[in-house]
Chain A
Amino acid sequence: MKFTRRMTLAAFAGMLAIGTAVPAYAADLVAIITPSHDNPFFKAEAEGADAKAKALGYDTLVLVHDDDASKQSELIDTAIGRGAKAIILDNAGADATVAAVQKAKDAGIPSFLIDREINASGVAMAQIVSNNYQGAQLGAQEFVKLMGEKGAYVELVGKESDTNAGIRSKGYHDVIDDYPDLKMVAQQSANWSQTEAYSKMESILQANPDIKGVISGNDTMAMGAIAALQAAGKKDVIVVGFDGSNDVRDSIKAGGIKATVLQPAYAQAQMAVEQADAFIKNGTKPKEEKQLMDCVLITPDNASKLETFALTD
């Protein structure tokens, strides 16, 4: 199955490679590569970048790597083959991605990274990421407050190859571990996945029926956790997420999940395209490679202002 999928992909990449023989088009091309759009966060990113690129007069090539580093490498080849002028990339692994971005750079194509960092400087043209630590601290402070500074809790962690999983966990613990009466009874990775979070939460609950809270590294896992909790009749367990998705917004408004942290995903993707545009048109490089964007706490107070990873005023 896995093999068949790879073969299909390879065939697809092969076809695209042959497609390069076709004469160039009028508009310049910008490649937009993200994880799967199944997660609305990545979808919003891709749409934000796509809309901005089109508004600036570019053709776009929107691709997903499904958090598979070898697939990402093939997609970078595709972008190079198609003569993209810039690559907007939410990458598939902080270490594994360095070579792929270097390959694009060697081919003269700058990469503008969003959302996730890579463990190298001077390879990408820009790395625009949410201040995940600041955001995690906001989420954890609210979690601590909601928990009354005590009780048993569970942490759901994201995908290990993604720096953001580690940084959010670190941000959570830098706050929560200052409260000795808050006891973590389980810490498991659900790989950013809603279905995985649901099944992990089910088994965690069997071993720890008396937990009071769940802090999750992202919103999709928070959605999985709250579904499992509600199915088990645990309606009072405090769940806090991270991302600021519309699903979690609706859950907050309905009294389910208690809080999340908004990452300005849409604006971030647009900013990356603007920086790519400045480089393509004028050769202007971003002032700094690494750029941080602050996150915002979302609670019942401001949830109604949240729409597609942006706050309306």
Chain B
Amino acid sequence: MPQNSIRLSFAVVALLALAACKVLPTGTTPGGDKPAAFDPDAAVAEMWDGKVLPYLEAKAGPFAEVEKVARADPAAAGAKYGNVNKQANSPWTYAATIEGKIVAANTQSRAATIDVDVDGDDKADARVQIGPAIRGTALRDVLDFVDFNSFTNQIDYAQFGKAFNMHVNKTVLGTLPRDALEGRTAKVLGAFAASGGTDLPLATPAEIEIGPKP
């Protein structure tokens, strides 16, 4: 009798396994339970003027001040200048205004940057990305109204992060001067992630003005 029931469950499970095998398509979603395709570019464009810029303007502190608070107490700085709802394991990202003189520029790389001295000692304090290749997702990560849990998966969340960089490229960075940047002034509203390394803090601008040649 136990022998029989083993055989039976055997057959049933085997049948189920084989049946399941047939009906499982890979890479397709059966049914229509997915929301309409997510358009990250449109989502960013829509929130940019009404939500993103006002948020950054309200949150940002002068770079030197943000750096000072962040060095003393990263979490306090995060609460004041950043996104308190960030993922526990991610670094803090802070909103800041960076105003000063461009002391170095790297426009050889497509991930072009300018190094800005904010305190007048002729030494670079922050590195600002001027594209067209932009690293990271600082502009997304600094926003306290963007929650990873509201996205279907990491891919949508990632595309949303990239869309901020694309938006800045299209609306702000594309028209920036690329030559003879050293010595000019820069005025930036943007965000940067805390980094433990020795590299300069890497900021992504949401708005940027570069002054005329001195």
Q: Which residues of A contact B (CB under 8 A)?
A: 6-7, 9-11, 13-15, 17-18, 69-71, 73-74, 93-96, 117, 119, 121, 129, 131-134, 137, 141, 144, 149, 160-161, 163, 166-167, 170-171, 174-175, 178-179, 288-294
Contact = CB atoms under 8 A, between A and B. Distances in A.
Interface residues of B, number: 43
A220 to B, nearest CB: 20
B175 interface: no
A255 B203 CA distance: 33
A179 B110 contact: yes
A212 B91 CA distance: 33
A291 B90 contact: no
Interface stretch (B19-27, B52-60, B71-79, B119-127): B19-27
A70 B10 contact: no
B170 interface: no
A149 B29 CA distance: 38
29 contacts: A7-B14, A10-B10, A14-B6, A14-B10, A14-B13, A18-B6, A69-B24, A94-B153, A117-B154, A119-B152, A119-B153, A131-B87, A133-B154, A134-B90, A149-B109, A149-B110, A163-B154, A167-B155, A170-B159, A175-B135, A178-B111, A179-B133, A288-B149, A291-B87, A291-B88, A292-B87, A292-B148, A293-B87, A294-B91
B39 to A, nearest CB: 16
Interface of B: 2, 5-6, 9-10, 13-14, 16-18, 20-21, 24, 26-29, 34, 87-91, 109-111, 132-137, 148-149, 152-155, 157-159, 161-162
Among A134, A160, A167, A291: residue with most chain B CB under 10 A: A134
B9 A17 contact: yes
A274 B157 CA distance: 26
A7 to B, nearest CB: 6
A292 B162 contact: no
Among B89, B110, B135, B148: residue with most chain A CB under 10 A: B89
B50 to A, nearest CB: 26
B88 A167 contact: no
A133 B158 contact: yes
A291 B89 contact: yes
Contact of A174 (B21, B110, B152, B158): B158
Contact of A6 (B6, B18, B135): B18
B24 A96 contact: yes
B13 A294 contact: no
A13 B152 CA distance: 33
Given A13-B9, A133-B158, A167-B158, 9 more contacts: A10-B13, A11-B10, A18-B2, A132-B154, A137-B135, A167-B154, A174-B158, A178-B110, A292-B90
